[in-house]
Amino acid sequence: MNFAKIKYYDISNGPGVRTSLYVSGCRNHCKNCFNPETWDFAYGEEFTRETEDQIIKSMEPDYIKGFTLLGGDPFEPENAQRLAPFVERLRAAYPQKSLWCFTGYDFEKDILTGKQGDLSTNLRILHCMDVLVDGRFVEELKDLNLRFRGSSNQRIILLKPTFERDEIVLWDGEQFV
Protein backbone atom coordinates (compact mmCIF):
# COMPACT_ATOMS: atom_id res chain seq x y z
CA MET A 1 0.00 0.00 0.00
CA ASN A 2 1.12 3.53 -0.76
CA PHE A 3 0.25 6.79 0.91
CA ALA A 4 0.06 10.26 -0.58
CA LYS A 5 0.96 12.31 2.50
CA ILE A 6 0.93 12.55 6.26
CA LYS A 7 -0.14 15.76 7.99
CA TYR A 8 1.27 15.91 11.49
CA TYR A 9 -0.62 19.03 12.60
CA ASP A 10 -3.97 18.74 10.81
CA ILE A 11 -6.93 20.78 12.07
CA SER A 12 -9.30 20.15 9.14
CA ASN A 13 -10.20 16.48 9.36
CA GLY A 14 -11.64 16.05 12.83
CA PRO A 15 -11.68 17.98 16.10
CA GLY A 16 -8.47 19.34 17.57
CA VAL A 17 -4.94 18.94 16.28
CA ARG A 18 -4.51 15.54 14.66
CA THR A 19 -2.17 13.38 12.64
CA SER A 20 -3.76 12.49 9.30
CA LEU A 21 -2.76 9.76 6.86
CA TYR A 22 -3.85 10.11 3.23
CA VAL A 23 -3.72 6.68 1.60
CA SER A 24 -3.38 6.20 -2.16
CA GLY A 25 -5.95 4.40 -4.23
CA CYS A 26 -9.62 5.12 -4.85
CA ARG A 27 -12.06 3.78 -7.40
CA ASN A 28 -14.84 6.29 -6.66
CA HIS A 29 -13.34 9.13 -8.73
CA CYS A 30 -15.78 11.72 -7.38
CA LYS A 31 -16.28 14.76 -9.61
CA ASN A 32 -14.09 17.62 -8.31
CA CYS A 33 -12.44 15.46 -5.65
CA PHE A 34 -10.03 17.56 -3.59
CA ASN A 35 -7.32 14.83 -3.87
CA PRO A 36 -7.56 13.33 -7.39
CA GLU A 37 -3.87 12.40 -7.30
CA THR A 38 -4.75 9.84 -4.61
CA TRP A 39 -6.93 7.84 -7.00
CA ASP A 40 -3.76 6.13 -8.25
CA PHE A 41 -2.80 3.17 -6.04
CA ALA A 42 0.88 3.67 -7.00
CA TYR A 43 0.96 7.36 -6.06
CA GLY A 44 3.23 8.50 -3.23
CA GLU A 45 5.40 6.42 -0.95
CA GLU A 46 5.23 2.89 0.38
CA PHE A 47 3.56 2.54 3.78
CA THR A 48 6.13 0.72 5.91
CA ARG A 49 6.59 -0.24 9.55
CA GLU A 50 8.83 2.82 9.84
CA THR A 51 5.94 4.98 8.59
CA GLU A 52 3.69 3.42 11.23
CA ASP A 53 6.29 4.14 13.91
CA GLN A 54 6.55 7.79 12.82
CA ILE A 55 2.78 8.23 13.01
CA ILE A 56 2.57 6.58 16.42
CA LYS A 57 5.44 8.73 17.71
CA SER A 58 3.77 11.88 16.33
CA MET A 59 0.73 11.26 18.50
CA GLU A 60 2.58 11.27 21.85
CA PRO A 61 2.02 14.94 22.77
CA ASP A 62 -1.13 15.67 24.77
CA TYR A 63 -2.14 18.44 22.34
CA ILE A 64 -2.56 15.82 19.56
CA LYS A 65 -6.20 14.85 20.03
CA GLY A 66 -6.39 12.05 17.51
CA PHE A 67 -5.72 10.43 14.18
CA THR A 68 -7.59 10.65 10.88
CA LEU A 69 -7.46 8.14 8.04
CA LEU A 70 -8.52 9.33 4.59
CA GLY A 71 -7.32 9.30 1.06
CA GLY A 72 -7.81 7.95 -1.53
CA ASP A 73 -10.00 5.47 0.26
CA PRO A 74 -9.02 3.35 3.25
CA PHE A 75 -11.70 0.78 2.42
CA GLU A 76 -10.31 -0.15 -0.97
CA PRO A 77 -9.42 -3.83 -0.36
CA GLU A 78 -5.74 -3.29 -1.13
CA ASN A 79 -5.61 -0.57 1.52
CA ALA A 80 -7.85 -2.14 4.15
CA GLN A 81 -5.74 -5.30 4.38
CA ARG A 82 -2.68 -3.24 5.23
CA LEU A 83 -4.47 -0.72 7.44
CA ALA A 84 -6.32 -3.16 9.73
CA PRO A 85 -3.25 -4.26 11.73
CA PHE A 86 -1.94 -0.69 11.81
CA VAL A 87 -5.11 0.85 13.26
CA GLU A 88 -5.29 -1.99 15.79
CA ARG A 89 -1.76 -1.10 16.85
CA LEU A 90 -2.62 2.60 16.93
CA ARG A 91 -5.78 2.04 19.01
CA ALA A 92 -3.81 -0.07 21.51
CA ALA A 93 -1.18 2.67 21.82
CA TYR A 94 -3.70 5.50 22.26
CA PRO A 95 -7.01 4.23 23.63
CA GLN A 96 -7.88 7.74 24.86
CA LYS A 97 -7.40 9.55 21.53
CA SER A 98 -10.06 9.78 18.84
CA LEU A 99 -9.68 7.92 15.56
CA TRP A 100 -11.63 9.14 12.54
CA CYS A 101 -11.91 7.59 9.07
CA PHE A 102 -13.27 9.04 5.82
CA THR A 103 -14.59 6.85 3.02
CA GLY A 104 -16.50 7.43 -0.20
CA TYR A 105 -18.33 4.16 0.36
CA ASP A 106 -21.65 3.77 2.14
CA PHE A 107 -21.42 2.26 5.64
CA GLU A 108 -24.44 -0.06 5.39
CA LYS A 109 -24.63 -0.78 1.65
CA ASP A 110 -20.94 -1.24 0.87
CA ILE A 111 -18.75 -1.68 3.94
CA LEU A 112 -20.98 -3.76 6.25
CA THR A 113 -22.22 -6.04 3.48
CA GLY A 114 -18.77 -6.97 2.24
CA LYS A 115 -19.69 -5.54 -1.16
CA GLN A 116 -16.66 -3.32 -0.69
CA GLY A 117 -13.80 -5.56 0.38
CA ASP A 118 -13.57 -8.26 2.99
CA LEU A 119 -16.15 -7.84 5.78
CA SER A 120 -13.91 -9.17 8.56
CA THR A 121 -11.11 -6.78 7.55
CA ASN A 122 -13.55 -3.87 7.36
CA LEU A 123 -14.85 -4.68 10.84
CA ARG A 124 -11.33 -4.78 12.26
CA ILE A 125 -10.86 -1.21 11.06
CA LEU A 126 -14.31 0.00 12.10
CA HIS A 127 -14.01 -1.38 15.64
CA CYS A 128 -10.83 0.68 16.12
CA MET A 129 -12.43 3.90 14.91
CA ASP A 130 -14.60 6.32 16.84
CA VAL A 131 -16.04 8.08 13.80
CA LEU A 132 -16.68 7.19 10.17
CA VAL A 133 -17.49 9.89 7.64
CA ASP A 134 -19.12 7.99 4.78
CA GLY A 135 -20.49 8.69 1.32
CA ARG A 136 -19.18 9.91 -1.97
CA PHE A 137 -18.43 13.59 -2.42
CA VAL A 138 -21.23 14.96 -4.62
CA GLU A 139 -20.37 18.29 -6.25
CA GLU A 140 -24.04 19.30 -6.55
CA LEU A 141 -24.47 18.86 -2.77
CA LYS A 142 -21.27 20.71 -1.83
CA ASP A 143 -21.72 22.94 1.21
CA LEU A 144 -18.80 24.93 2.60
CA ASN A 145 -20.67 25.43 5.89
CA LEU A 146 -20.56 21.72 6.78
CA ARG A 147 -18.09 20.62 9.42
CA PHE A 148 -15.69 17.82 8.48
CA ARG A 149 -17.40 16.89 5.21
CA GLY A 150 -17.73 18.29 1.73
CA SER A 151 -21.29 17.50 0.64
CA SER A 152 -24.59 17.20 2.49
CA ASN A 153 -25.10 13.51 1.63
CA GLN A 154 -22.06 12.53 3.69
CA ARG A 155 -22.69 11.39 7.26
CA ILE A 156 -20.60 11.59 10.43
CA ILE A 157 -21.31 8.26 12.12
CA LEU A 158 -20.41 7.57 15.75
CA LEU A 159 -19.28 3.98 15.49
CA LYS A 160 -19.31 2.71 19.08
CA PRO A 161 -22.94 3.67 19.79
CA THR A 162 -23.91 2.54 16.29
CA PHE A 163 -22.58 -0.96 16.98
CA GLU A 164 -24.01 -1.02 20.53
CA ARG A 165 -27.53 0.00 19.44
CA ASP A 166 -27.47 -1.72 16.05
CA GLU A 167 -28.69 1.50 14.44
CA ILE A 168 -26.91 4.46 12.87
CA VAL A 169 -25.99 7.13 15.43
CA LEU A 170 -24.92 10.41 13.86
CA TRP A 171 -22.67 13.05 15.39
CA ASP A 172 -24.82 15.95 16.56
CA GLY A 173 -22.05 18.50 16.01
CA GLU A 174 -21.77 19.23 19.72
CA GLN A 175 -19.77 16.57 21.52
CA PHE A 176 -16.22 16.03 20.40
CA VAL A 177 -15.12 12.52 19.63
pLDDT at 131 (0 to 100): 97
As a residue count, the chain comes to: 177
Using a 10 angstrom Cβ sphere, with 0-12 exposed, 13-18 middle and 19 or more buried, the burial of residue 169 is: middle
pLDDT at 58 (0 to 100): 98
This prediction's pTM: 0.94
Distances (CA, A) of 87 to 9, 14, 130, 165: 19, 17, 12, 23
pLDDT tens for the chain, 177 residues long, are 999 999 999 999 999 999 999 999 999 988 888 889 999 999 999 999 999 999 999 999 999 999 999 999 999 999 999 999 999 999 999 999 999 999 999 999 999 998 999 999 999 999 999 999 999 998 898 888 888 988 889 999 999 999 999 999 999 877 666
Q: Backbone dihedral region of 61: left (phi > 0), alpha (psi from -120 to 50 degrees) or beta?
A: beta
The domain spans of the chain are: 20-165
**Other CB atoms closer than 10 Å to residue 94's CB: what's the count?**
16
pLDDT at 144 (0 to 100): 84
pLDDT at 177 (0 to 100): 62
